[in-house]
Amino acid sequence: MPKNAAKESVMDGSTSFTPYKEKKGEEYMNEQQRDHFKSILMNWKRELMEEVDRTMSHMKDEAANFPDPADRASQEEEFSLELRTRDRERKLIKKIDKTIELIEQDDYGYCETCGVEIGIRRLEARPTATLCVDCKTLAEIKEKQIGG
């Protein structure tokens, strides 16, 4: 099987990586695993930053004062959607930076609520996860009960 065939996507479908192959008896969150996740996060951040640059260029190039009010409204709506997306990505970049700090402090990969290992596969699916599956499930149940 070609090496590229083992690549998978993270979250948005654009960031690919080769899944980490755990070795028998390997310590959880050892240096190789931390490097693996730091690489995933850095690549994801780079792609998000490139998208920000593309948006800025697009908005500068496409900005026009259309005489037709419907055309102006369409352009404003398009820009509004792009800006909302970029704002979500800006928040995600902050979360990625915080996660990279956790890796550098050797605090990455453990649930911030109960302290258990989050798990390699869960972290590959959501590299910024801070809760194990059980704590995340409980948090979502509580949120549904409060939010009704």
Is residue 43 marked as binding?
Answer: no
The two structure tokens encoding residue 119: 């798990």
Query: Residue 62: which H helix or E strand, with range?
Result: helix 31-62
The answer to whether the annotation marks 132 as part of a ligand binding site is yes
Classify 131 as helix, strand or coil. coil
Domains of the chain: 27-105 (1.20.120.910), 109-148 (no CATH)
Residue 16 contacts residue 9 (beta carbons within 8 Å): yes
Q: Does 23 belong to an annotated binding site?
A: no
- Whether the model clears a pTM of 0.85, i.e. scores above it, the answer is no
86 assigned binding-site residue: no
Q: How far is CA 138 from CA 29, 108, 111, 127, 134, in A?
A: 25, 21, 13, 20, 6
pLDDT in tens, 30-84: 999 999 999 999 999 999 999 888 888 877 777 777 788 888 888 889 889 988 9
Strands (E), 91-130: none
